[in-house]
Protein backbone atom coordinates (compact mmCIF):
# COMPACT_ATOMS: atom_id res chain seq x y z
CA UNK A 1 0.00 0.00 0.00
CA UNK A 2 1.10 3.55 -0.78
CA UNK A 3 -0.44 6.88 0.17
CA UNK A 4 -0.68 9.41 -2.66
CA UNK A 5 -1.36 13.07 -1.94
CA UNK A 6 -2.63 15.54 -4.53
CA UNK A 7 -0.38 18.08 -2.83
CA UNK A 8 -1.18 21.26 -4.77
CA UNK A 9 -2.96 23.50 -2.23
CA UNK A 10 -3.42 20.61 0.21
CA UNK A 11 -3.65 21.88 3.81
CA UNK A 12 -3.21 18.46 5.47
CA UNK A 13 0.19 17.41 4.12
CA UNK A 14 1.89 17.44 7.53
CA UNK A 15 -0.88 15.39 9.13
CA UNK A 16 -0.69 12.79 6.35
CA UNK A 17 3.10 12.74 6.63
CA UNK A 18 3.00 12.18 10.41
CA UNK A 19 0.49 9.32 10.21
CA UNK A 20 2.17 7.67 7.21
CA UNK A 21 5.49 7.69 9.05
CA UNK A 22 3.86 6.38 12.24
CA UNK A 23 2.51 3.36 10.32
CA UNK A 24 5.55 3.00 8.05
CA UNK A 25 3.54 3.42 4.87
CA UNK A 26 5.23 4.71 1.71
CA UNK A 27 4.09 8.24 0.92
CA UNK A 28 4.24 10.15 -2.35
CA UNK A 29 3.32 13.82 -2.70
CA UNK A 30 2.52 14.91 -6.24
CA UNK A 31 2.66 18.59 -7.17
CA UNK A 32 3.22 20.77 -10.19
CA UNK A 33 6.28 22.87 -10.90
CA UNK A 34 4.87 25.94 -9.15
CA UNK A 35 5.06 24.28 -5.71
CA UNK A 36 8.09 23.43 -3.59
CA UNK A 37 7.78 20.68 -1.01
CA UNK A 38 10.41 19.17 1.24
CA UNK A 39 8.81 16.66 3.59
CA UNK A 40 10.83 14.89 6.26
CA UNK A 41 9.09 11.62 5.34
CA UNK A 42 7.98 10.41 1.93
CA UNK A 43 8.96 11.53 -1.50
CA UNK A 44 7.91 14.35 -3.79
CA UNK A 45 7.20 13.91 -7.47
CA UNK A 46 7.06 17.14 -9.40
CA UNK A 47 4.83 16.81 -12.42
CA UNK A 48 5.05 19.13 -15.40
CA UNK A 49 2.61 21.98 -15.73
CA UNK A 50 -0.75 21.39 -17.30
CA UNK A 51 -4.37 21.70 -16.28
CA UNK A 52 -4.72 18.12 -15.03
CA UNK A 53 -1.14 16.84 -15.16
CA UNK A 54 -0.87 16.08 -11.43
CA UNK A 55 -4.32 14.48 -11.34
CA UNK A 56 -3.55 12.20 -14.28
CA UNK A 57 -0.14 11.25 -12.89
CA UNK A 58 -1.69 10.34 -9.54
CA UNK A 59 -4.35 8.16 -11.17
CA UNK A 60 -1.71 6.43 -13.30
CA UNK A 61 0.37 5.63 -10.20
CA UNK A 62 -2.27 4.40 -7.73
CA UNK A 63 -3.46 0.81 -7.46
CA UNK A 64 -6.17 -1.09 -5.59
CA UNK A 65 -5.71 -0.77 -1.83
CA UNK A 66 -3.73 2.49 -2.01
CA UNK A 67 -4.93 5.64 -0.25
CA UNK A 68 -5.51 8.86 -2.18
CA UNK A 69 -5.81 12.26 -0.47
CA UNK A 70 -7.43 14.84 -2.75
CA UNK A 71 -10.00 17.58 -2.65
CA UNK A 72 -10.82 16.91 -6.31
CA UNK A 73 -14.00 14.86 -6.74
CA UNK A 74 -12.96 13.83 -10.23
CA UNK A 75 -9.67 12.40 -8.97
CA UNK A 76 -11.57 10.63 -6.21
CA UNK A 77 -14.02 9.09 -8.68
CA UNK A 78 -11.19 7.74 -10.83
CA UNK A 79 -9.31 6.43 -7.79
CA UNK A 80 -12.45 4.72 -6.48
CA UNK A 81 -12.75 3.08 -9.89
CA UNK A 82 -9.30 1.59 -9.28
CA UNK A 83 -10.45 0.32 -5.82
CA UNK A 84 -8.40 2.84 -3.84
CA UNK A 85 -9.40 4.38 -0.55
CA UNK A 86 -10.02 8.12 -0.99
CA UNK A 87 -10.33 10.95 1.49
CA UNK A 88 -11.04 14.68 1.25
CA UNK A 89 -9.05 17.22 3.29
CA UNK A 90 -12.17 17.64 5.45
CA UNK A 91 -11.91 14.01 6.55
CA UNK A 92 -14.89 12.90 4.47
CA UNK A 93 -14.32 9.53 2.87
CA UNK A 94 -15.19 9.30 -0.80
CA UNK A 95 -17.14 6.11 -1.41
CA UNK A 96 -19.04 4.42 -4.20
CA UNK A 97 -22.17 5.46 -2.31
CA UNK A 98 -21.46 9.22 -2.21
CA UNK A 99 -19.27 10.04 -5.22
CA UNK A 100 -22.12 10.44 -7.73
CA UNK A 101 -23.89 12.94 -5.47
CA UNK A 102 -20.65 14.87 -4.91
CA UNK A 103 -19.96 15.04 -8.65
CA UNK A 104 -23.52 16.27 -9.31
CA UNK A 105 -23.19 18.94 -6.59
CA UNK A 106 -19.90 20.06 -8.16
CA UNK A 107 -21.55 20.26 -11.57
CA UNK A 108 -24.48 22.30 -10.24
CA UNK A 109 -22.16 24.67 -8.33
CA UNK A 110 -20.09 25.22 -11.47
CA UNK A 111 -23.25 25.92 -13.43
CA UNK A 112 -24.41 28.44 -10.79
CA UNK A 113 -21.03 30.21 -10.83
CA UNK A 114 -21.22 30.60 -14.59
CA UNK A 115 -24.70 32.13 -14.41
CA UNK A 116 -23.36 35.23 -12.55
CA UNK A 117 -26.68 35.47 -10.71
CA UNK A 118 -25.35 33.40 -7.86
CA UNK A 119 -22.38 34.25 -5.73
CA UNK A 120 -21.02 31.26 -3.82
CA UNK A 121 -18.72 31.85 -0.88
CA UNK A 122 -15.38 30.12 -0.73
CA UNK A 123 -14.55 27.65 2.01
CA UNK A 124 -14.32 28.82 5.60
CA UNK A 125 -10.88 29.38 7.12
CA UNK A 126 -9.37 26.08 8.27
CA UNK A 127 -9.38 25.54 12.03
CA UNK A 128 -7.51 23.31 14.45
CA UNK A 129 -10.76 21.36 14.88
CA UNK A 130 -10.76 20.70 11.11
CA UNK A 131 -7.23 19.31 11.39
CA UNK A 132 -8.16 17.09 14.34
CA UNK A 133 -11.22 15.78 12.49
CA UNK A 134 -9.13 15.02 9.40
CA UNK A 135 -6.39 13.30 11.44
CA UNK A 136 -8.88 11.01 13.20
CA UNK A 137 -10.67 10.13 9.96
CA UNK A 138 -7.43 9.60 8.04
CA UNK A 139 -5.96 7.36 10.72
CA UNK A 140 -9.17 5.33 10.74
CA UNK A 141 -8.84 4.95 6.94
CA UNK A 142 -5.20 3.86 7.28
CA UNK A 143 -6.15 1.26 9.88
CA UNK A 144 -9.01 0.02 7.68
CA UNK A 145 -6.70 -0.24 4.65
CA UNK A 146 -4.20 -2.19 6.76
CA UNK A 147 -6.96 -4.54 7.96
CA UNK A 148 -6.68 -3.37 11.57
CA UNK A 149 -9.81 -2.96 13.63
CA UNK A 150 -10.41 0.01 15.93
Whether the predicted pLDDT of 147 surpasses 80: yes
Q: What domains can you pick out in the chain, each with its CATH number? A: 3-145 (3.40.50)
pLDDT tens sequence across 2-48 = 999 999 889 999 999 999 999 999 999 999 988 889 999 999 999 98
Asked whether 134 and 90 are in contact (CB, 8 A), the reply is yes
- Residue 30 pairs with which residues in a beta bridge? 6, 45
Specify burial of residue 64 (Cβ count, 10 A radius: 0-12, 13-18, 19+). exposed
* pTM of this structure: 0.88
Q: What is the predicted pLDDT for the residue at 52?
A: 87
Amino acid sequence: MTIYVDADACPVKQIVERIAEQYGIPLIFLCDTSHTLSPAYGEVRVIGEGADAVDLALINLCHAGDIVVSQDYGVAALALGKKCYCIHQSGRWYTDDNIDTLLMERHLAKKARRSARHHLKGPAKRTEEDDLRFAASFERMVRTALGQSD
